[in-house]
Structure 1
Amino acid sequence: MDQQTLPAREAEKLAEQACLAAGANQATASALAKATISAALFGRSGVGFPHLLDYLSGFRAGRINGNAQPKLTSPLPAILHSDASGGIAQLGFELAAPTLVERTRELGVAIFTQGNSYPPGELGYYARRLALEGLIALAVSNSPAAVAGSPGGKIAFGTNPMAFSAPLTEADAPLVIDQASSATTFVSLVKAAESGSKIPEGWAIDEKGEMTTDAAAGLRGALLAFGGAKGANVAMMIECLAAGLSGASWSLDMPDFQRGSRPIDAGMTIIAIQPTVIDKEFSSRLTRQLDRIAERGAYVPGRRLVRSNISEEDYIEIDSVVLEKIRRSL
C-alpha cells in the first residue's frame, strides 16, 4: 500500500479544511480534525483519515449536521447529557470534557451520555483523553445494525464498540483497550473486500446466514459477534448503556451511516472514575501488575505514549489514495 508521510500539524490543518469545505462549522471541523489526528498518531489509524472520508460524505449528504450546536444539560450532579443535534460525537464530548473531569474529581464518579450524533469514530480517543487527566474511563457506543448474534441469525446489533482506559505510573502511557463486540470491525471487513483477501471463519456470514471466508459475501450478509452468545451479550449490554441511557436510537432503527440523508442518532456513554479515592497508589500498583502479566506472556494492550496535543516532531503516514480523495474535496 502506497503511503505518504506528512507533518501532523499539516495533516490536521488538511482535515480541518476538508471538513469546512464539506459544510462543517469551525467548531465541528476543529473537533473532528483533532480526533482524526489522535487516531492516526496514538490509536487506530484505520478509523483516522480513511474514516474521515465517511464524515465528509456525511456532511455533504446531510447525514451529519455540520452546523450542530450540542445542547449540554446536567439532570443530576453526576450525570451530563448531550444532545448532539445531529452532529459529530466529538464536538459534544469536547464541550463537556472540562465539566466531566471536574465533576469526576469532585464526586468520584461521573457519567457523560450523548444521543443524536453520528457514530463516534475511534472510541479509544475519548478514553485516552480522560486517562491523561488521571481518570479511569469506560466508553461504549452503538452503531447501525450490521451484526448477527449467531450463524443463521438475522442482523440484530451494531458493532457496538467499547473502550477502557486507566492511568499508569507513566502518566502519558495509559492502559487503553479498544475493541468491537463483533468478531472484527466493519472497516476491516471492507478493507478485506477491497483487496480481495480471505477473512477468517467466524468473522461473518453470507446472505444465506452461512459462515463465509469471502469478505464481499460478508458485506452482503452480516458480521458475527465475537465468541458467539458471549459477544452478543456484550453487544446487548452496550446497547443498553449507549442507546438506552442517552435516549438515542437502537441499532436496528438506525439508517445506513454511509448512504442516504437521514441522521444516524447514535448513542455513546462514558463512565469516568477517580481511581485514587480509596488507593492513592492505584497507578503504581496497576503498572506493576501489568508488568507481571506481560512477563507471563499475556498480551497487554495500550501503554503507548500519548498526548492531547501534537508537536512539530510528529509525522503521520496516510494512504496515498485516501490523501488524494481528501485533497480533491477542498
Structure 2
Amino acid sequence: MGFPQVTLAPPAPRTVVPEPAPDPFTSTGSHRRVPGPRKPVDPVAEPAPGSGSGRGLKVRTYTGMAAAAVTTVLAVVVAGQVATDGDGAKTGALAANDDARSDSAASRSDERPTPDVPAAAPAAPSVAPPPPELTYEQKMAQQLPIDAKLAGPGTFDTVPGVAKAPGKGKLVRYRVDVEKGLELDPQLFAEAVHRTLNDPRSWAHGGAMTFERVPGGEADFVITLASPGTTGFWCAKSDLDTTVDNVSCDSASTDRVMINAFRWAQGSATYGPDQMFAYRQMLINHEVGHRLGHGHVNCRTPGALAPIMQQQTKSLDIGGIECKPNPWVHPGS
C-alpha cells in the first residue's frame, strides 16, 4: 500500500486529503460480506483489538496529519509570498513615483545651472530737447523785464569783433559798449545796431554812407546800452535830462550815444508791446541821427508817418497833429 501524495498548483494551493485505508473483508465461503458503515476513527486512540495491525494504523494516521500540516504551512507560505509580492509591487510603484517626483523637483531645484540673464540697463533719464534757437526777428520782437529805476555800476564791456561795412559810401566807424550787470543780450544789441544802420531805409540810403563796427581805437562814436541811472549820468554831461520820461540821448559833449536799457527792453506806449522790433530800430536811427547832426523834426501831416527825428518815444501827437509810428529815415525805400 503506498502513501498519498500532495500536489500544489499556484496561485491557490489545493489540499489533497488521503483516502482512508479500506477495511479488510471477511469471506465466508463463496459469498462476500458487505461492509457496514464506518465510524470515525480517533487518530489518537489506540486501535481496537482485532482491527488489524496497530502500528500500520498509527503510521497512516501520523502520515495524514503530517501531510495536512505540510499543506497548511505551504498554503500560509504561498499566501504570504503573494501578499509580499503585492506589497513589493506597491512599494516599487510608490518608490518609482517618489523617484519621479524627486527627479521633477530636482529639475526645478537651484542645483541646476541658471542661464545668465543680463541685468536690465537703467533707463536713461528723460531729457527734454533744448528749445529751438530763436531767429533774429523773434528775439527783436520780445519785450523783456527790467526795473525802470535800475542804476548799473557805470562800467562797460565792449562787444568784441568787427562787423565790416557792407556799402561803398562814407565810412563811419562805431563801437558798441554794454554796461556790466545788465541781463540783456549784448550780441543781439550789437547785431541790431549794425543791421539797422546799414539798412537801405536808414542813414545808409542811396550809398550816402556805410557803417562798420570796430572793437575800439578808431571809432567815431560809441553806441552804449546802459541802465536808466547810468544813461542819466552820461546825458547830464551834455546838459540833457533823460530822467523825466526815462528816455535816451546823444551825449554830444562825449563820444557816447546813450540807449536807455529800460526803453530797449520795454519799448514805449506809442509803439506798444506788439511793435518792439520797430521801436528798437527807431531808437537806434533817432539817436545816431543826432550824432550825424540832425535835430528834432515834428510831423506836419495828420495820419502820415512820423519823421525819424520826431521824439516818438514821448508822443506821436505833436501840436494836435497825430502821426503814425515810423522807424526809418527813408521808409518808402
Q: Same fold (TM over 0.5)?
A: no
Larger radius of gyration: 2
The higher-RCO structure (CA 8 Å, 6+ apart) is: 1
TM-score, structure 1 length as denominator? Answer: 0.26
- Higher strand proportion, which one? 1
TM-score, structure 2 length as denominator? Answer: 0.26
